[in-house]
Amino acid sequence: MTTQMLTYLFVGASFVLYIGIAIWSRANSTKEFYVAGGGVHPVINGMATAADWMSAASFISMAGIISFMGRDGAVYLMGWTGGYVLLALLLAPYLRKFGRFTVPDFIGERYYSKAARIVAVVCLIFISFTYVAGQMRGVGIVFSRFLEVDVTTGVIIGMAVVFMYAVLGGMKGITYTQVAQYCVLIFAYMVPAVFISIMITDNPIPQLGFGSEVNDGSGLSVLEKLDTVLLDLGFTAYTQGSKSTIDLFAITAALMFGTAGLPHVLVRFFTVPKVSDARLSAGYALVFIAILYTTAPAVAAFARLNLVETVHNTSYEQRPEWFSNWEQTGLVGWQDKNADGIMQYSAGAQNEIKIDRDIMVLANPEIANLPGWVIALVAAGGVAAALSTAAGLLLVISSAISHDVLKQTLMPQITEKQELLYARIAAAVAVCIAGLFGIYPPAFVAQVVAFAFGLAAASLFPALLLGIFYKRMNKEGAIAGMLIGLIFTFTYIVYFKFVAPELNSGDNWLFGISPEGIGFVGMLLNIGSACAVSLITGPPPANVQDLVENIRIPAGVAREH
């Protein structure tokens, strides 16, 4: 069978599986639609959270980004995992005890205010749509590269599949499909990683191979060799960073606090049976995530080393097979600047090789000379990563609309059945908008990823944290804090990314902090202003203080009968 046919078979089979699960796990109540009935086992929820969290960017792009950033790539590795510690220690157990359906639900009740709820809904929708646009695009790209259908068709197929299980099954359908998607994506990521590790170091465990000697008899470790080779070509050494310490610090912090404030991740912890399960579940989620996140930097180093070794100073006629395969897609390219017929790779203007960062994962199976079924598996894994994240995001958007905007604010008289119908309609509309973003990507998609994390860190995270740990926090403080954090971060990013992109460099940044890391400053401003405003206004009402007391105690969780 050709690789092409295998790819159709694998991706097709995975779709049949997801849709089968969707039909089996249809949601019949709002509780099932919003939080899967609240009875999901912590390990299952951990796996679903991992799939929810690891997006097309984690699966396809992250190793490539690290590959070219070298040491500085650690901001993503630590930033996107460290947030789970904050989640497990500071937020998840208390939100589970609170036991409602959405993140704005908590903010609305805790701050006894419809205004606070609506501010939270606005933050949530902005964060989630930014994020989902990238996922649909990811689905389209995988389709176009592996199945040779055009991006639009790819996005429409992806939309149809997400529609099936998100609209029918709600959180319940999403949870069980995400478990399947996690299995597909982690297997698809690990198989090529293990083989490329064996190829370069003889060690089958990528995390260990990463520190081992290269098997070419040079006696150098992977990183020593990579440093030497890159320095020779005029790059900075792989193990030396180029970002300033304060910027590394701020970006890592913004990503960590942003992760802990992302609504589609938080809401997953509403689905476990009890408070202690929420803590455990965050631990399992991080284990499942860490498998990929500790492999990615190893893949990044192997791929970069392999790239230099096999491509640099090779005549174009003898280029490796993967290079010629991927040339057609435009992801790799060669321009013979000095007309010698030999490919030269270097840091300066004489560089002749164009490499897209996504190639590091996508071409891995071919680089490691793996059979066609592994390539097919990587395609199915990329689709799984994109679909699972898209579905989780679409669900929080639709529940914020049907539950927080309609049921809790605009039309409180609707029955549960009507609310469920509105939730399905909202999910359907959200799928279509996300699809449009995928087909006609706004030019700024790549630019605004910093938004999602920065805004989550600067708006939602402090409101949740203070709501749990600072009983005196009142609605005036929380609303002021969210607005100040949001406006500050939004303005800073828009200014440097869109208004004056020519000024976007270290000399002009506030304290030398890039727009990617400014969410951390926004968060500090939020907390500072919220506390100040709260202290000059009155304490929250007694019933709210009782609510805070109540959520701090694990015993007595509301449960299904």
Partner 1 sequence: MADQQHTDKGGNQTTDDRQDQPSVSQENLKGYWQANLSLLTKLLCVWFAVSFGCGILLADWLDQFSFFGFRLGFWFAQQGAIYMFVVLIFTYSWRMKIIERQFGVNDDEVTK
Contact set with partner 1 (CB under 8 A): 38-39, 66, 71, 73-74, 77-78, 81-82, 84-86, 88-90, 207-208, 210-213, 221-223, 239, 245, 248-249, 252-253, 256, 273-276, 279-280, 282-283, 286-287, 290, 293-294, 297, 549-550, 552-560
Kindly state the smallest distance separating residue 89's Cβ from partner 1, in Å: 6
Select 90 or 122, whichever has its Cβ closest to partner 1.
Answer: 90
The β-bridge partners of 336 are none
- Give the integer Cα–Cα distance in Å for 350 and 535: 61
Tell me 406's DSSP state: I
- Give the integer Cα–Cα distance in Å for 170 and 167: 6
Select 279 or 475, whichever has its Cβ closest to partner 1.
Answer: 279
Select 37 or 192, whichever has its Cβ closest to partner 1.
Answer: 37
Select 253 or 521, whichever has its Cβ closest to partner 1.
Answer: 253
- Give the integer Cα–Cα distance in Å for 153 and 149: 6
Kindly state the smallest distance separating residue 472's Cβ from partner 1, in Å: 15
> Residue 223 half-sphere exposure, CB side, CA atoms within 13 Å?
13
Q: If phi over 0 gives left and psi between -120 and 50 gives alpha, with beta otherwise, what is residue 356? A: beta
User: Cβ distance 211 to 221 under 8 Å?
Assistant: yes
Output the six-digit token pair for 140.
Answer: 């389209």
Kindly state the smallest distance separating residue 275's Cβ from partner 1, in Å: 5
Nearest to 59, CA basis, from 444, 452, 360, 372: 360
Tell me 38's DSSP state: G
Match 């893949």 to its residue by tokens: 299
Select 372 or 554, whichever has its Cβ closest to partner 1.
Answer: 554
Residue 391 amino acid letter:
A
Kindly state the smallest distance separating residue 234's Cβ from partner 1, in Å: 21
- Give the integer Cα–Cα distance in Å for 212 and 222: 6
Select 221 or 504, whichever has its Cβ closest to partner 1.
Answer: 221
Burial 239-260 (b: 16+ CB within 10 A, else e): eebebeeebbebbbbbbbbbbb
Kindly state the smallest distance separating residue 344's Cβ from partner 1, in Å: 28
- Give the integer Cα–Cα distance in Å for 347 and 354: 11
Select 114 or 559, whichever has its Cβ closest to partner 1.
Answer: 559
Is residue 9 exposed (0-12), middle (13-18) or buried (19+ Cβ within 10 Å)?
Answer: middle
Kindly state the smallest distance separating residue 84's Cβ from partner 1, in Å: 6
Select 294 or 351, whichever has its Cβ closest to partner 1.
Answer: 294
Q: If phi over 0 gives left and psi between -120 and 50 gives alpha, with beta otherwise, what is residue 354? A: beta
Pairing type for strands 342-343 and 314-315 reads antiparallel
Kindly state the smallest distance separating residue 559's Cβ from partner 1, in Å: 6
Kindly state the smallest distance separating residue 521's Cβ from partner 1, in Å: 15
Q: If phi over 0 gives left and psi between -120 and 50 gives alpha, with beta otherwise, what is residue 502? A: alpha
Kindly state the smallest distance separating residue 106's Cβ from partner 1, in Å: 16
Select 532 or 558, whichever has its Cβ closest to partner 1.
Answer: 558
Select 110 or 279, whichever has its Cβ closest to partner 1.
Answer: 279
Select 178 or 203, whichever has its Cβ closest to partner 1.
Answer: 203
Kindly state the smallest distance separating residue 467's Cβ from partner 1, in Å: 15
CB contact set of 527 (below 8 Å; sequence gap of 6+): 462, 465, 466, 481
Kindly state the smallest distance separating residue 163's Cβ from partner 1, in Å: 29
Select 52 or 352, whichever has its Cβ closest to partner 1.
Answer: 52
Is residue 443 exposed (0-12), middle (13-18) or buried (19+ Cβ within 10 Å)?
Answer: exposed
- Give the integer Cα–Cα distance in Å for 388 and 57: 12
Select 42 or 381, whichever has its Cβ closest to partner 1.
Answer: 42
The β-bridge partners of 519 are none
What is the rounded end-to-end Cα distance, in angstroms, of the chain?
51
Residue 110 amino acid letter:
R
Output the six-digit token pair for 520.
Answer: 């951390």
Kindly state the smallest distance separating residue 290's Cβ from partner 1, in Å: 5
Select 207 or 346, whichever has its Cβ closest to partner 1.
Answer: 207
- Give the integer Cα–Cα distance in Å for 263 and 393: 8
- Give the integer Cα–Cα distance in Å for 182 and 162: 15
Kindly state the smallest distance separating residue 285's Cβ from partner 1, in Å: 9
Residue 34 amino acid letter:
Y
Kindly state the smallest distance separating residue 221's Cβ from partner 1, in Å: 4
What's the distance, CA 122 to chain centroid? 20
